[in-house]
Structure 1
């Protein structure tokens, strides 16, 4: 069997895996024919480019599942199954899961952030790293609309972080459901800076710095990224900002049991209504004080693009889980095999 045939079969398997979770019981669209309407125009795209991008994206999904997507004129009295809308001035909370690029509401409306620069690229065109690929974004959001969650596979169009499809010369390739050949990930630079915006009520500055340095070092040891602390400067902010706040709500901490939350713009928030502590190895644990090191490592994982997953003892376990011995003695937090595999799927291994 040739190498080409093996690659072809692998891509087909990924397509099947990607689409196998779509079924009539789970999808919000059990009918065969689905209509869609474009409610308004983007300031970044010509109407013909917008229409062509959506037609291409819907066609990719339609080719592998029993659904047909048909455009109809916008009619507020008889709305389409799927509505497409471009908006500006949208907040982090409205785009909490898609890096401020796009968002689909449960009622079938897809919102696209028109404050973002995106473009409908043509095949072979040299890509501008500052201008996002609109076709990829559309395909990704349609996947969510059909019921799919994020994938850890960097070649998947449902990858948790925006990626663009290019050849080795940086020229555009049409995105396919299972053919992301070259990824441009959230943190493409080798060195990533971070700043501590303010202090916690329950931690000394030295303990805070030591906990975050340890947490960043654990991730840096397994991927080709270096994390460097710089002084806080609002005029020249670090890539990652660390902030302790009080009075935060459930909505702001929807995914982390009111302990911590990272916004799509790179700010990590920690709920300072909770009592934190930086434990030392072999120290007796006070269960009323949360381990800031574990929480920092977990939240950094999200900043790097990882989702929660149900692997016991994993740093990315969705529930706060302290590493202690049977005699209630603290043990230094370490990444598990799963944490390492998943983060390397995004960034690759570290080769010193």
Structure 2
């Protein structure tokens, strides 16, 4: 197969690209390298195109030339989107509409990365049919983009849980995700301050996200534990539900660090999202391979070996990079 991966040089993207290449597909990566990093993956079946998904003449041609589209390119996260609302709508909504129209016109499969943030704050167990309640521009643009993707006959929409862990050696590192940043701070001897801590997040390793969405691009049969869902539509991707407090406690336990590093405060945090998701479809169509403990140990190892020059460098933080560099 020939697969177009938008945002293929990113945190999720290169995990998907690696999976597709290992499967024998030809992959075209479309990426604007907005975070200033380079993309050094080399493979005979890999084509890299430096470009922006808002360039509709370019995306139309690339969609036409491929069998399936994995659409990952987006401005991701509440803070990054709030920093430039106009650009966010242009990228997350308008460009997705253009790609969806091309997939519809050229009869291509479209796989789209959405987010569990579309559910907002909800104390009930959530599944794919639960009401949505986006609380941010990011979640709102993703929800609107979902409607465009549903017009494509062969489509998969994956609402991703909160990601963690390391992607591939070619991918950009993200230090602004809750499990990653808490692990960094713990390993550096800093206090883990948890606001309340009862908020739930559905957690998912980044490599599981990349591999499972790559799997959905396939039209070839798979065995019972490694196959795309048997019906096109919307699916939640998550490995486990975890409160922020339990996450912090798990990090300290795995890293063999004292609980005295944990500080719980009742001061309300500005992020009011709270949701637990059902796992009724996980195991039926796919299995996750990388549990939370794997992601924690990955981060612990690179911190202890000094592999990150500066955890707080803006290139590792979506919102800060958008505010301090792109909007400068």
TM category, shorter: under 0.3
Q: Which has the higher strand share?
A: 2
Q: Which has the higher helix share?
A: 2
Structure number with greater CO (CA < 8 Å, separation at least 6) is 2
TM-score of the pair, normalised by structure 2: 0.24
TM-score of the pair, normalised by structure 1: 0.23
Highest CA radius of gyration, 1 or 2?
1
